[in-house]
Amino acid sequence: MPEGMRATTARTGTAMLDIADLHGFYGESHVLHGVDIAVRQGEVVTLLGRNGAGKTSTMRAIMGIMGKRTGSIRFQGQELIGMAPHKIPRLGIGYVPEERGIFSSLSVDENLALPPVVKEGGMTVPQIHALFPNLKGRGATQGTRLSGGEQQMLAIGRILRTGAGLILLDEPTEGLAPVIIEQIGVAVRALKQRGFTILLVEQNFRFAATIADRHYVMEEGHVVDMIPNDQLHANMDKLHTYLGV
């Protein structure tokens, strides 16, 4: 990582989430090679990068659900590396996985109620229904019978109940129709207004550009660049090269 960026990270000493020199492994394969990321309270930050750049692995490393991790992941000053995986979400981190993770043996209501409330101030079910009207009246439906977009809404909605302040959103727009992507975008902006801090993995940077404050670009398991959203247009050529689009 360039020296200048290190300095940026260092200046955000009050970051809500501060990842420094994170290495991660799946068995023998070394997938994260010194990731540095800082997310301030209330920010929406994206991780951009090609497939296999380490975006999802970074999220899994934060949640403690990957093999071995070294380096440092601090959330509100607490070190997550070495912490039991089930304790990490209890600090107030909500995870919306890439594959959405809707349970087929649970109804929509059961899926929504599944993640335990970890902090006060989570959204109520009527509030979640207001944010995602598609989920209303579908409570008894088997979770996986919802459409892809509705499953995504359910995956996000169930985390909002828990009171988690930091939400990890892994590719919420993947495989969805433009009109649904628009709906998810509206919801994410609403969440930002409510003060949620969001770390977002995206391949679709046009979507990311409409909601994020800053973008980290990942390549081969580490962060290679950080672009504030207002400088995104000036950096379009660079970004095209990074993402190969």
Partner 1 sequence: MSQLLGIPPQALFGQLLLGLINGSFYALLSLGLAVIFGMLNVVNMAHGALYMVGAFVAWLLLTYAGVGYWGALILAPLVVGLVGLALERTLLRRLYKVDHLYGLLLTFGLALIFEGAFRHHYGVSGQPYPIPDLLKGGTNLGFMYLPTYRGWVVAASLLVCLGTWFAIERTKLGAYLRAATENPTLVQAFGINVPVMVSLTYGFGVALAGLAGVLAAPIYQVSPMMGSNLIIVVFAVVVIGGMGSILGAIVTGLGLGLLEGLTKVFYPEASNIVVFVIMAVVLMVKPAGLFGRER
- Binders of partner 1 among residues 130 to 169 (CB under 8 A) are 162
- Smallest gap from Cβ 139 to partner 1, in A, equals 13
- Smallest gap from Cβ 227 to partner 1, in A, equals 29
How far apart (Å, rounded) are the C-alpha atoms in residues 105 and 108? 10
Of 67 and 195, nearer to partner 1 (C-beta) is: 67
Binding of residue 63 to partner 1 (CB under 8 A) = yes
- Smallest gap from Cβ 234 to partner 1, in A, equals 37
Binding of residue 84 to partner 1 (CB under 8 A) = yes
Q: Which residue has the tokens 């209330």?
A: 42
How far apart (Å, rounded) are the C-alpha atoms in residues 140 and 137? 8
- Binders of partner 1 among residues 195 to 234 (CB under 8 A) are none
Binding span for partner 1 by CB under 8 A among 38-46, 70-78, 106-114, 195-203: 106-114
Q: Which residue has the tokens 């200046």?
A: 11
DSSP for 83-127, please give it: S-GGGTGGGTEEEE-TT----TTSBHHHHHH-SPP-STTPPPHHH
Binding of residue 83 to partner 1 (CB under 8 A) = no
**Binding residue for partner 1, selected from 10, 65, 236, 245, defined by CB under 8 A:** 65
CB 31 within 8 A of CB 24: yes
How far apart (Å, rounded) are the C-alpha atoms in residues 239 and 217? 8
Chain residues binding partner 1 by CB under 8 A are 63-65, 84-90, 95, 97, 101, 103-106, 110, 113-116, 118, 162
